[in-house]
Structure 1
Amino acid sequence: MPFARLATATTPTSHIGLGLAAVARPGYINLGRETDLGADRSVDALRTRTHELLDAAYAQGVRYVDVARSYGRSEEFLADWLTARPDAADVVVGSKWGYTYTAGWSADAATHEVKDHGVQTYDRQRAETAELLGDRLDLYQIHSVTPDSPALTDRELHARLAASAATGLTVGFSTSGPAQADAIRAALTVTVDGEPLFRTVQSTYNALETSAGPALAEAHDAGLTVIVKEGMANGRLAAPHAPAVLKDVAEETGLGADAVALAIVLREPWAGVVLSGAATLGQLASNLHAAVVDLDDDQLSRLATLAEDPRAYWERRGQLPWH
């Protein structure tokens, strides 16, 4: 992995990271939250849950944690945990800017987050992140770049990002939507003073949504570290929602459908880090089994039939309710 801090993570599960999108705010679009989180979604309850997940992940070798300004109090919860765990100095922290959390700690808000890739939003959110995470921040990414994002052409923003990179911060971007491949390829052409600006890319890739694969391979070949999000397709690939073929293969391996789903991604040679979005300790333990799943050619061929048209995939994702 070209990203130096991630490349030094040599634990057995170094290729699996923990994302806090689902546990650092009361409302999200993942399936099964009623069971996973229950009724108590107070700040204190979710802080405790987040810290328990971080403790368990660290104990099992996870060294990358993914947060964002729009993930409720994810940066705050992580900062509190890092302060309480001086032994966790080897944890690599990635955050994102570009969405503002607007739900006011409600699962029923009309609007949960607002997107803006402008320079003023970057300046504000960079300062907010710095206040919470300080020098523990390793990676700062533009959140959900699409081909029409002004972040791809705003030279003033590029200069700001390059200045941050000059201080040692790694600069990256994430992508969303059916045109992820186009966004990735466009971002690969962004340079400042003749040098590539971005060192990492974080994209959605899973058994149902594989369209970004070739572009992610190109990004890897260009020297970027690839981070994969939504490997569980927001719960669609976890029991009890998993497709029948995934359940069948999982039964054959003796492991969970979630472990198999993440193993599909881990086997890609360009995948540097694959995120677990676990909301419970049981989910985390099962997700981490992905590192030992061994899939044969027949199983991989059957699982390949799950891939959907990206437009259909993202349309369905857009219909998932915040709850």
Structure 2
Amino acid sequence: MPASFLHQSVARATLGPSPAGLAGAEGPDPLFFCLHRQRGVCSPFALGSRMHKERTGAFLLALLRGARTSVQRDYALGFLTHYATDTTFHPFVYARTRTPQGRPSGTLHCAYEHALDQWLYLEQGHRAGTPRHMAGIAALTRPQRAQVAQLLCQAVRETYPDQKSASERLFEHALDDSVRLARILYSPTGIKYALLGALAWPLGLQRALHAHMVPLRLPKGDLTNETHAPWESPFAPGERHESVPDLLQAARARALTFVDAARAFYAGSLDEAALAQTLGSMSYDSGLPCAQDGLSRRS
């Protein structure tokens, strides 16, 4: 998953500053922050992973069909921008964050994405600090979060039959926990980054912790592939040369295509079959149709 600020940036370029749209731009990721469990339902982390890889098109259609209020519709449109961004960026991120043995690394993956957030923040003209994560969710009122949780719960139950006992409260917890943890990990001066890192170091958790915090200083080297050096997706053969700015432009274009199709669906000028054809059913990891995705996420 590109980290929160990059997702917010694509959503803002596509939808404007709607808090619900920015909340939707987080996609399934708040489940990765959820500290609560529900009996009879897979862990929030496992559910979030499934939503990235299994029946993704069916879930998006369920989300769009189920959205009734303006908050829910904005949220669903924001979710489409998350799907567009992940499916565009992830092959590059996986290519850039393999271990020396050529294996995917969750720690390297998250650290790189958080560094990209700081790069984009500086590119947008900010001279100090670091971007706030989960800002769209944080801006929602309690009733608005309840509307989002109801929509997510309904779409999950419809898409994943073995999760029919999932409750709206689980998704409210996911939204709330993601905001709380983002607030804890927010370090605009770098002091908390250093302090929490020092506390985590004796436990061997410094790298894992810092992978989930935005660094004040960017790592050295060609972070964004401005030189257009060759790279290859681990999911599909073929040399590629895109830079991060190239991929960001492509993500915005894909997001606009998806959002325009959804708006046409809401307006009654596009039927569900045509909408489904436009959205596809891609793995958020590979950008390929779900059945073709052979590499699972590892830590």
TM more than 0.5: no
Return the TM-score normalized by structure 1: 0.28
Return the TM-score normalized by structure 2: 0.30
Higher normalized contact order (CA 8 Å, seq sep 6+, divided by chain length): 2
Higher helix proportion = 2
